[in-house]
Amino acid sequence: MRIGIITINSAYNYGCVLQAYALQEYLVKCGHKVDLLNYRPDVIDKVYTLYREKIKFKTPVLQNTYDKLRRMKQQHERRATYEKAEKFEKFIKKTLHTGMAFKSFDEIKENYDPRDYDLLITGSDQVWNSDITKGLKPAYFLDFDKVKTEPGFVRRISYAPSIGVDFLRDSEADFMKKYLENYDMISVREQSAAELLSGLTDKPIKVVSDPTFLLEREDYESLVERSGFTTPEAYNKKFKGPYILVHVIGKDRDVVRIAGALSRRLGLPVIQNRRDKTFDNELGSFASAGPEEFIGLVRGAKYVVTNSFHATVFALLYHRNFITVPHKKYPERMVNLLGSLGVEGHLQSKLGELVGIHEDEEFIAANKNDKDEMILEKIDSMSEDELFKPIDFDEVDARWAKLREDSQGYLQDALSKVKV
């Protein structure tokens, strides 16, 4: 069976490319030929553009000279960022089954006939989050109209797309109501998304897990091997002992406060994903790491502190104790993830929550000058197990296996209905 997938696969974001890889590889393991329709709209790619023209010259010679010199300066000053971009592009082009890149959906329709496929899939990632895609895109709803096929001729399903919000504007609801008609089967990643969409279609909406759940730990080992460090001991040797991995998305002071306090209390150094030194006891940065190295670094860590959904997923997959700070704008998927695996106690919004102090406005006002000292003093009196509550990974694995089985069942059901 030939399957086409459209998702966000070009962002230099670990979760983005690894979820695309996971769905692709699961379907390949099932014996199918899989293509990722390489849709790279500017709203995604420009977020990761390394060079932006600042000064415009009237003559091409001056412009080219200026651009060349400025790029050279940037490459020197931001070497880690450029190295990371090169590794991501290699992963996108070599590991993911992508072909020619298309900037617009019109370009895709000009080059792809949907009848070349037996099944088309939307997902996963935040393809239905209009804040991320700067407006809902027909491309992510598989609105192929170049060829008017008979209804159901090419089956279309969604697998775990995320909406990322708990309400829809009227225009968004109207858009989705129209385009959900394209699908034979619909699934989403969060229960809140299923509730939002249930009023827009008569079709049942299934809640499934992120694609990274479809694979088992062993399925990621081929990626880890590429990193050059195949065991946790190898990472400990490189970094001269155990470490706390800190992966922070955006500017999140709470992640930094929590990780810094734990590093200080436990005497463990930090490896973090920012270019600039952030922590007093810091071994280094993995700002230049590609997707393979990222998995290996999580695998080699003693503890993980993050506000990243997928860093949390791989910490759990590799049995690494962790603390996750919920995303300030889109906390639902982290809350759902940890709740479904029975480890919701590892979700901490503020440093004070580690020691049972709720840092609300009243507490901050009453302890404005010494609140951090109060919290750190209490942390210093706590044991390692009190700070990183022990996790029953046998129970986590059992719940994970159930989620995997349920999600795989949805895909197998969709595949069984395709007439080849």
Same domain membership, residue 198 and residue 273 = no
Q: Which residue has the tokens 């590889």?
A: 25
- Strand blocks (E) in 62-152: 119-122
Parent domain of 173: 2-213+402-416
Domain count, the chain: 2
216: tokens are 């088992």
Looking at the structure, do residues 253 and 162 belong to the same domain, yes or no? no
Residues 113 and 252 both lie in one domain: no
What distance in Å separates the CA atoms of residue 19 and residue 1, rounded to the nearest whole number?
21
Helix-, strand-, coil-residue percentages of the chain, each rounded to 5: 50, 10, 40
pLDDT one-digit tens code per residue, 94-139:
999 998 899 998 898 888 777 789 999 998 888 999 988 999 999 9
Confidence (pLDDT) at 120: 94
Tokens of 171: 């225009």
In this structure, is residue 395 part of a structural domain? no
Whether 9 is covered by a domain: the verdict is yes
Q: Is residue 397 assigned to a domain? A: no
Residues 320 and 177 in one domain: no
**298 with 183, same domain?**
no
CB count within 10 Å of CB 304 equals 26
Co-location of 270 and 331 in the same domain? yes
Please indicate, yes or no, whether residues 238 and 353 belong to a single structural domain of this protein. yes
Residues 274 and 371 in one domain: yes
pLDDT of residue 147: 45
State residue 128's pLDDT score. Answer: 95
Looking at the structure, tell me whether residues 177 and 250 fall in a common domain: no
| Contact (Cβ atoms closer than 8 angstroms) between residue 108 and residue 116 | no
pTM of the predicted model, to two decimals? 0.88
CB 13 within 8 A of CB 1: no
**Are 31 and 125 members of one domain?**
yes
**How many C-beta neighbours within 10 Å does residue 24 have?**
24
DSSP string, 272-340: ES-SS--SSSEEEE-TT--HHHHHHHHHH-SEEEES-HHHHHHHHHTT-EEEEPPPSS--HHHHHHHHH
Residue 68 lies in a domain: yes
Long-range own/partner contacts, residues 176-182 (CB < 8 A, 24 or more apart): 176/128, 176/136, 176/200, 177/201, 179/136, 179/138, 179/141, 179/143, 180/141, 182/141, 182/142, 182/143, 182/156
Q: What is the pLDDT of residue 329?
A: 76
Question: Residue 360: what pLDDT?
Answer: 59
Q: Which residues of the chain have pLDDT under 70?
A: 47-55, 62-63, 65-78, 145-153, 228-240, 358-371
354 plus 329 within the same structural domain: yes
**Per-residue pLDDT at 376:** 85
- The end-to-end CA distance of the chain, in Å, is 7
| CATH code of residue 300 | 3.40.50
Kindly state whether residues 161 and 302 are assigned to the same domain.
no
What pLDDT shows up at residue 359? 59
CA angle 157, 102, 113 (to 5 degrees): 50
- CB count, 10 Å around CB of 187? 26
